Structure 1
Amino acid sequence: MTAFSLEPAQLAWCAELRALAAERLRPLAGKGEPGRVNRALLAELGALGLLPRLFTSGALELCLMRESLAHACTEAETALALQGLGAHPIHAHGTDAQRAHWLPRVAAGTAVAAFALTEPAAGSDAAALSLTATPATPGAPGARPDGADGWRLSGEKCWISHAPEADFYTVFARTTPSAGARGVTAFLVPADRPGLTGTALDMLSPHPIGALAFDAVPVTADDVLGEVDRGFRVAMDTLNLFRPSVGAFAVGMAQAALDATLGHTTRRDAFGGKLKDLQSVAHQVAEMALRTESARLMVYAAATAYDEGAPDVPRRSAMAKLLATETAQYVVDRAVQLHGARALQRGHLLEHLYREVRAPRIYEGASEVQRSIIAKELYKNLEDR
């Protein structure tokens, strides 16, 4: 890792995190079942003090955590990130009672959080959500069933990480029909609410992902995160924070693949010498390193912009996620090619990374969405001049 934009203390902390991930987290990850929540791993993340840092860290520190953990244990990185994604709306927009009830349990790793935004027909177009929140008493908006204002949630969510095993979900539902992004409300929904069911999905990546079905699930005003009809802001605030750190996750995987390739090409005999002595190989490795370092610096820049409250955070976050995830795909693919068939064997580091690296180009806004955000922000700045 370069020291160009990091202090010695930050570099030392990253090294410590990589060591912890290799020595204490990777063995627990290996005992987990693919596609299931690894509660023992979450508890260890809490015991190490990493989950509590989700609520005290800035964007850059979050990126350093995710990059460092991803380098040695992608399962630990993903478990930490999903806790943050699901619980950040409570931390940033929740009531005192919501925070007091859930955040200590999230920080300890005893409560599993999930961020439920995506729907079958509303993935990248988050403003097109169709999960409906209707007044609990039909025809009487603002009615107070059972002594509290309430709604009933009906519809579906899909491709939700940690579903259906999470203990609570940050759910985005439409409270005002035909209002686009302005008619969405965020709700904190415990998993044991009547009418809420879920099923696991068998996906390429090994972390748990599922679908949720809402059959008139009751929620009240006490479950609202932020303000009614202002939930899209909650979602975008969360995604703007986590998008650069998705890039950090990708950089961590790219660096792991690059390190493995450097070791392999140094040891591997080929054509009368070492593989690294072939110019075609050396140039590929140089390109892998160049792209990884470029992505890392853009991630750090976007995170720093977020921490400093810069006005161009959406553009920088989109650029960082786009460049880093596309870079990681390239680097891991090149690493597999240079390793040959051994990299395709089940259990090999690169086989694992090859399955992990594909999803980040889709979730939290696909690469195409990031390009649209970048272009929109560029033209918006032109109009504002």
Structure 2
Amino acid sequence: MSGALMQPTALKPSTEHLALPFFDATHREISTRLPDWANAQDVNESDDRAACRDWVRRLGDAGWLRYCVSAEFGGTLPQLDSRALVVLRETLAFYSPLADFAFAMQGLGSGAISLGGTAAQQQAYLPAVARGEKIAAFALSEPQAGSDVAAMATQAVEAPAWHLNGTKTWISNGGIADFYCVFAKTDAQAGSRGITAFIVDKNEAGLDDSEHIHVMAPHPLATLKLTNCKVAGNTPLGEVNGGFKLAMQTLDIFRASVAGAALGMARRALAEAIAHARGRTMFGHTLADFQLTQAKLGEMAALIDAGALLTYRAAWMRDTQQGSMKERSVAAAMAKMTATENAQRVIDMALQMHGGLGVMVGSKVESLYRDIRSLRIYEGATEVQQLIIGKAVLQ
């Protein structure tokens, strides 16, 4: 974010889509309370790391992080609910992409514990995540292993305690997290079938998370260096050599929510464009009077709705277990690909409509232009989603 403060706005996200049959009263209740709360916050976002800590605390105090864990461990709902995550992320991203980031990483960073952790691991971490007392992180990517997860080089050895050696990079919340869910090779010859997950606490000897990565839309990212680093509790997270499946299951839950965040940014860009078109005068008319403007706004609205319908379908399929696991994964891939790509187009058109004001540092559409770009890459780049969909079509 480029501004010092998250400025309150008179603009509010549309809630008409919540009348669709994909949603129920739980999701509609979120949409009635969250906008006013989010808009009332005055977080200083000039320092992304301090701001994320502040957002986690605020989200925890207000009870929003309770949607990141199940009721058994202090959550609001019986299980992780993809539709709730989508509604939350869409709304938060409308106001502050950094708030959305802080929320999402609490869920993604602890998701593997929710899905595969022992009772002791779940009790040790999940209630604190829900309260905003522990910041979570998900450490999968490596310098030479992004989309190709099986190429990871980080090793885990039990001799007799579990220790990790290797490098993880592009780790969200890196440097501010209280714990990391780290994936490492436990069988170097088994490819994706030789990966295991582990929990590494912040202050563990052998963990260096001080190498920050600076990106065009600032948010906490770091490279982790693991040197004979001991695993928390000396216990794997989930089954030994079952880490790849655990990672994919975690990503599948949150992939549709990435699309939700893209929708929130796109809806904000459209709202900014509409407000600008109504207020900007040219040649004795408002910008909104011109047919070219009307056509662009119409295209933007259609692009948002196309991504939204795929997103809500994917979240609904996951929550209600519609179709096979493969069909649900394909639906999530379609949602993630379409919503993020369409949001990029919508925000670009909004910036173009603003003219010179659109590229001025500190304007909302300028910051959205930077914020949206990474969503087409992380948690599975667009090209990876295309492959998932294409292979399914051929089958």
TM over 0.5: yes
Identity of aligned residues (%): 39
List aligned pairs for 1:321-336, cutoff 5 A. 321-336=336-351
Residue by residue over 1:343-384, the C-alpha shift from the partner in whole angstroms, topping out at 9 and shown as x without a partner, is: 2222211111111100010000100001111112233xx3xx
Q: Distance in 2 between matches of 1:97 and 1:323?
A: 39
Query: 8 Å contact 1:39–1:110 — kept in the other structure?
Result: no
Q: Secondary structure at the match of 1:120?
A: coil
Q: Superposed, which structure 2 residues align to 1:35-184 within 5 Å?
A: 35-36=49-50, 38-55=52-69, 56=77, 57-136=80-159, 145=160, 150-184=161-195
One-letter amino acid of the structure 2 residue matched with residue 230 of structure 1: G
What is residue 212 of structure 2 aligned with on the other side?
A: 200
Take 2:232 and 2:274, find their aligned partners in 1: how far apart are those partners? 56
Structure 1 CA distance, aligned partners of 2:251 and 2:310?
A: 17
Q: Please list, as runs of the form range in 1=range in 2, the aligned pairs for 1:190-339 lying within 5 A after superposition.
A: 190-198=201-209, 199-219=211-231, 222-310=234-322, 311=324, 312-339=327-354
Task: Give distance in 2, aligned partners of 1:246 and 1:260.
Answer: 21
The one-letter code sitting in structure 1 at the alignment partner of 2:382 is S
**What is the CA distance between 1:99 and its match in structure 2?**
1.1
Counterparts of 1:304 and 1:33, CA distance in 2: 36
User: What's the CA shift string for 1:230-253, capped at 9, x where partnerless?
Assistant: 000110001100000000000000
CA distance in 1, matches of 2:24, 2:242: 38
Contact 2:174 2:223 in 1 (8 A): yes
1:13 and 2:30 aligned? yes
Map 1:360-379; keep pairs closer than 5 Å. Answer: 360-379=375-394
Q: Deviations over 1:103-152 (max 9, x none)?
A: 1111111111000001000111112211111232xxxxxxxx3xxxx332
Offset of residue 280 of structure 1: 1.4
Name 1:141's counterpart in structure 2.
Answer: none
Instruction: Judge conservation of contact 1:254–1:331 (CA < 8 Å) in 2.
Output: yes
Pair 153,32 (structure 1): closer, same or farther in 2 beyond 3 Å? same
Q: CA RMSD in A?
A: 1.6
Looking at structure 1, the residues matched to 26 and 163 of structure 2 have their Cα atoms a distance apart, in angstroms, of: 50
What is the CA–CA distance in structure 2 between the aligned matches of 1:298 and 1:256, rounded to whole Å? 19
Provide Cα deviations, 1:207-244, integer angstroms capped at 9, x if missing partner: 10110001111227743111000000110001100000
**1:9 Cα offset (Å):** 6.4
Instruction: State the partner residue of 1:4.
Output: 20
User: Does the residue aligned with 1:357 lie in a helix, a strand or coil?
Assistant: helix
Structure 2, unaligned runs of 5 or more: 1-14, 70-76
C-alpha contact 1:51 1:80 (8 A) present in aligned 2: yes
In the alignment, residue 54 of structure 1 is paired with which amino acid? C
Aligned pair partner of 2:40 in 4, 15, 23: 23
Residue type matched to 2:122 in 1? R
Structure 2: which amino acid aligns with 1:342?
A: L
What corresponds to 2:358 in structure 1? 343
Contact 2:162 2:231 in 1 (8 A): yes
Q: Distance in 2 between matches of 1:298 and 1:305?
A: 10
In 2, the alpha carbon distance for the partners of 1:10 and 1:194 equals 43
TM-score (norm 1): 0.91
Which stretch shifts more, 253-262 or 126-135? 126-135
Q: Distance in 1 between matches of 2:390 and 2:111?
A: 27
Q: Are the counterparts in 1 of residues 201 and 232 from structure 2 also a CA contact under 8 Å? A: no
Letter in 1 for 2:249: D
2:12 matched residue in structure 1: none
TM-score by length of 2: 0.89
Asked if 2 retains the 8 angstrom alpha-carbon contact of 1:37 and 1:162, the reply is no
Q: Could you tell me how far apart the structure 1 residues matched to 2:337 and 2:318 are?
A: 17
For 1:183 and 1:251, the matched residues in 2 are separated by 36
Local SS of the residue matching 2:257 = helix
CA contact (8 A) 2:162 2:234 kept: no
Change (3 A) 1:220 1:342: closer
- 3-state SS, counterpart of residue 153 of structure 1: strand
8 Å CA contact retained: 1:151, 1:219: yes
Question: Aligned equivalents of 2:153 and 2:281: distance in 1?
Answer: 58
Distance in 2, matches of 1:32 and 1:65, equals: 23
Unpaired runs of at least 5, structure 1: 137-144
